[in-house]
Structure 1
Amino acid sequence: MSNSHPRKKKRKRLNKEAKDLLSKGYVKDHISSTSITTGVNFTSTVENGRHLTSNITAKYAYKNATVDVIFDSKSNLSAAIGFHGEFLPSTKTIATLKLPDYSSSKLRFQYFHKHDALVTSLVLSQSPALRLSASIGNPTIALRMKAVCKTGCGFTKYDAGIHAANPNRTASIILANKCDLLKASYVHRFHQPMKIAVGAEITRSFSIKENTFTVAGSCKVDRMTTLKVKVNNHGKLDTLFLHKIRPKFSLSISGEFDAKALNKFPRIGLALALML
């Protein structure tokens, strides 16, 4: 078990890097959230010269407990308290309480084994929702399934996919949105000083009979600077410039240009993140 967990973490990291290359950090979700370890993080986001949000996030961890507090520019305060306890071998239980929006509180149970994993969570709202996620495989290839069941509504979501990964490449085929969306993606990494990565994604929506083809690339200009770009067959071009001014202070600039909407100004996003 001790040897399998590092391999699972590495596979999870590779899959996350592939997903981030094709979707994360651009204008539409520009620095909407920043994950931190223990400490205080300040994030401010500006788009097209218009200030959108400012968030102060604090996280404290002690033994098996974590406390997250978020205060935003709209004077909203929310807190999440998590407890991690290993009651049985290969299992972990997490209880999370969010305030003042207590309806999003949840109870989560995780089971990890050498070749499979099972995660279930119960959202404690007026219409409780049960979320189920399961995977089976090894660090090289895995089959995953997700489903959401709500009281009185039955299954509102079910996805299935197969993922393959190694240090140089990641590939996946996913059937999502109740079998309405088919998505296939591939990312290749070039291990050199610039750490260049290129990827492509094809999606097919059966309900509206639409295909989308996206290509993306990223590179590390230096130790503190990263560039990302993606473009699809609908004429949308997204770019992202991320620079760490200091180890705990970063600047992010993103842009979005739509070739089919030349009468509109390109969208530009600016974000500053500071961790104390």
Structure 2
Amino acid sequence: MSSKLELQYEKEYSSSCASIGLLANPIVSFSSMMGTSTMSMGSSVDLDTNTGSLSNFSFGLSFSNEDSVATLTLSDKGDGSRPILTGTGYHAVKSLTNTFVGAEASYTFLTKKSTFVVGTEHALDPLTTVKYRVNSLGIASSLIQYKLFPSLRFTLSTEADTRAPVESATYGFLLSVGPDHKMVKGPGLYSDIGKKARDLLYRDYQADHKFTITTYSPTGVAITSSGTKKGEVFLADVNTQLKRNNITTDFKVDTYSNSKVHILAYCHTGFWVKAHKKACFCMFKYLFTTITVDEAAPGLKAILSFKVPDQNSGKLEVQYLHDYAGICASTGLTANPIVNFSGVVGTNIGAFGTDVSFDTKTGNFTKYNAGLSYSNADLIAALTLNDKGDTLNASYYHIVKPLTNTYVGAEVNRCFSTNENTFTVGTQHSLDPLTTVKARVNNFGRASALIQHEWRPKSLFTLSGEVDTKALDKSAKFGLALALKP
């Protein structure tokens, strides 16, 4: 029997871990660290209660900055018979190509022997990675890994003794399959009902021009700037995200400009704005602030949001996820708020939920919806009744081929008050691990398509278009999106 009880405690500048085996004469372990993200020190001890002696003892130091990590550890069996001193170094040479180097040196005082290992890793392209290492004994190893499809990787490795490379060479290969879509535990939230089909049919399609760039500061602050051109109107926003433990704070500033206004305007930011020899009207709209606390308690998330200068925009939201339920409740922070509640019960296979909103000022329900979903390994079906029972929506999502991210989906929408039906079908397929195409068409004859290419890790270029097949004489709509991340 190998049962063990372990306790972990973390603070801003220290952490501790204690464990004990659930046996008659257990081994008791204790480790602790103190310091910062730049420099820290710690120790670890194991006590064998059966013999009353230390079975292991180690002490270590670490130092790190933006692109390097160095460590030094001294470990021993506890009786001083086999002390070993180990030093390691890791350096990020070029993050854009995932080029890293590392080294490890160890010295055993009892045998007075030392070993040394150096290695490197480099991405030849976004699909191919090579690694190499060699030690002081002359044993050299290398591997190449190629991403055949988004969830299929092929790895070929070799190892040889450089003193007799032909006779000692060994080879190995590995074909690994990791499906991107896994059955999640629990029914999720009400907003998750039908979400897969909605994302397949509507996500990334657009008729505007959008540019987004994200940068990260050395302290981990993420700054995202985006601009969207809708005809002659340009919308821009800057989002700053700070993360500290389980608390995430987002600040978002929206601005608005119109290039048709031919007057020189003084912006709220304190600058005169002028572009291409024509005056541009620029206006600060809102400052959005969102504070999210993850795991405030097991399964619980709290979200506080508000925008300045709107004094009636405050909102508090609480989400709770359980193996057999998902609950979301929110209320406006005003004298007469709108209270919203949604709940789902069931499992990751079948679930039923409802979503209601109540206006405390008028005493009326402003929204009441209901929905149910069914899912298995390769399909998800959902049925929802929305708009106070006026709209019935059914959706279907099917995984055709996981290795190439090939999916199909459909959505049927029935409005009882207007007797209008809307039917949309769509599909997605990965041409290669970096390029994805999507297409959709509805019963009104509107056909859309897009192609999205990941030209470098996390940076996407998307080109989309839409045409009315019943009015081909009208010009098609085109959209362009460019997202840059380091």
CA distance in 2, matches of 1:215, 1:222: 23
Give 1:179's aligned residue.
389
Q: Assess, with a 3 A threshold, how the Cα gap between structure 1 residues 213 and 87 changes in structure 2: closer, same or farther.
A: closer
1:225 aligns with 2:435: yes
- What is aligned with 2:404? 194
Structure 1: state its 5+ residue gaps. Answer: none
Aligned match for 1:27, one of 206, 221, 227? 206
Letter in 2 for 1:212: T
Aligned 8 A contact 1:79 1:100 in 2:
no
What is the aligned counterpart of 1:123 among 321, 332, 349?
Answer: 332
The counterpart of 1:42, out of the listed 217, 225, 234, is: 225
Does structure 1 retain, via aligned residues, the 8 Å contact 2:208–2:229?
no
Structure 1 Cα separation of the partners of residues 234 and 241 of structure 2: 23
CA distance in 1: counterparts of 2:308 and 2:314, whole angstroms: 8
| Cα deviations by residue, 1:37-60 (Å, 9 ceiling, x for unpaired) | 962223333467x66433332211
- Is residue 187–residue 344 contact of structure 2 (8 Å, CA) maintained in 1? no
Q: Is the 8 A contact 1:121 1:131 kept in 2?
A: yes
- Residue 16 of structure 1 corresponds to 195
Amino acid of the residue matched to residue 433 of structure 2? Answer: R
Asked if the contact 1:187/1:197 (under 8 Å) is kept, the reply is yes
Tell me the amino acid that sits aligned with residue 184 of structure 1: A
Shift of 1:98: 2.9
Match of 2:173 in 1: none
Equivalent of 1:91, from 300, 320, 335?
A: 300
Q: Does 1:141 align with 2:350?
A: yes
Preserved contact between residue 174 and residue 184 of structure 1 (Cα < 8 Å): yes
Look up the equivalent residue of 1:54 and give its one-letter code.
A
Query: Shift of the alpha carbon at 1:126?
Result: 6.7
Q: CA deviation at 1:237?
A: 0.7
Q: 1:46 to 1:243 in 2, by over 3 A?
A: farther
Q: Report if aligned partners of 1:103, 1:126 keep a CA contact under 8 Å in 2.
A: no
The one-letter code matched in structure 2 to 1:65 is I
**Partner Cα distance (2:317, 2:419) in 1:** 37
Task: Please tell me whether residue 7 in structure 1 is matched to residue 216 in structure 2.
Answer: no
1:40 maps to a residue whose letter is I
Matching residue of 2:15: none
**Cα offset for 1:204?**
0.8
C-alpha separation between the residues in 2 aligned to 1:160 and 1:96? 26
Aligned residue for 2:32? none
Report deviation, 1:124. Answer: 2.6
Give CA-to-partner distance per residue, 1:75-109, whole Å, 9 cap, x none: 44523131426565543333223333443321112
Q: 2:456 aligns with which of 246, 251, 259?
A: 246
Moved more, 137-146 or 10-19: 10-19
Name the amino acid aligned to 1:67: T
Structure 2 match to 1:55: 237
Is this contact kept in 1: 2:211–2:482, CA < 8 A? Answer: no
Select the residue among 424, 447, 455 that pairs with 1:237: 447
Equivalent position of 1:210 in the other structure: 420
1:97-132 CA-partner distances (Å, limit 9, x unpaired)? 333344332111223332112211002357521111
**Counterparts of 2:214 and 2:317, CA distance in 1:** 20
- Select between 117-126 and 156-165 the one with higher mean Cα deviation: 117-126
Name the % identity: 32
Other-structure match for 2:484: 274
Gaps of 5+ in 2: 1-182, 257-283
- Structure possessing the higher relative contact order (Cα contacts under 8 Å, 6 or more residues apart): 1
The whole-number CA distance in structure 2 between the counterparts of 1:35 and 1:154 is 43
| TM-score under structure 2 length normalisation | 0.50
- Contact persistence 2:453–2:461 (CA under 8 A): yes
TM superposition outliers: structure 1 runs of 4+ over 6 Å: 9-14, 29-38
Kindly provide the amino acid, as one letter, of the partner of residue 18 in structure 1.
A
Partner Cα distance (1:105, 1:64) in 2: 21
For 2:474, the equivalent position in structure 1 comes to 264
SS in 2 for 1:27: coil
Structure 1 194/111 Cα, relative in aligned 2: closer, same or farther at 3 Å? closer
Instruction: Write the distance in 2 (CA, Å) between the matches of 1:109 and 1:158.
Output: 19
1:255/1:110 CA distance change after superposition, 3 Å: same
Q: Paired residues, what number?
A: 271
The change in CA–CA distance for 1:233 and 1:222 in structure 2 (over 3 A counts) is same
* Code of the aligned partner of 2:332: V
> What is the identity, as a one-letter code, of the residue corresponding to 1:25?
D
Q: Is the 8 A contact 2:426 2:439 kept in 1?
A: yes
Higher helix fraction (1 or 2): 1
**Contact map agreement 1:255 1:268 (CA 8 A) in 2:** yes
1:64 aligns with 2:246: yes
Query: What is the aligned-residue RMSD (CA, Å)?
Result: 3.3
The TM-score normalised by the length of structure 1 is 0.84
Q: How far apart are residue 193 of structure 1 and its match?
A: 3.0
Letter in 2 for 1:201: E
Distance 1:66 1:91, change over 3 A: closer
Which segment is superposed worse, 168-177 or 11-20?
A: 11-20
Give the counterpart letter for 1:27 in structure 2: Q
Paired amino acid for 1:103: N
SS of 2:287 mapped into structure 1: strand
Report the Cα distance in structure 1 between the residues aligned to 2:213 and 2:406, rounded to whole angstroms: 23
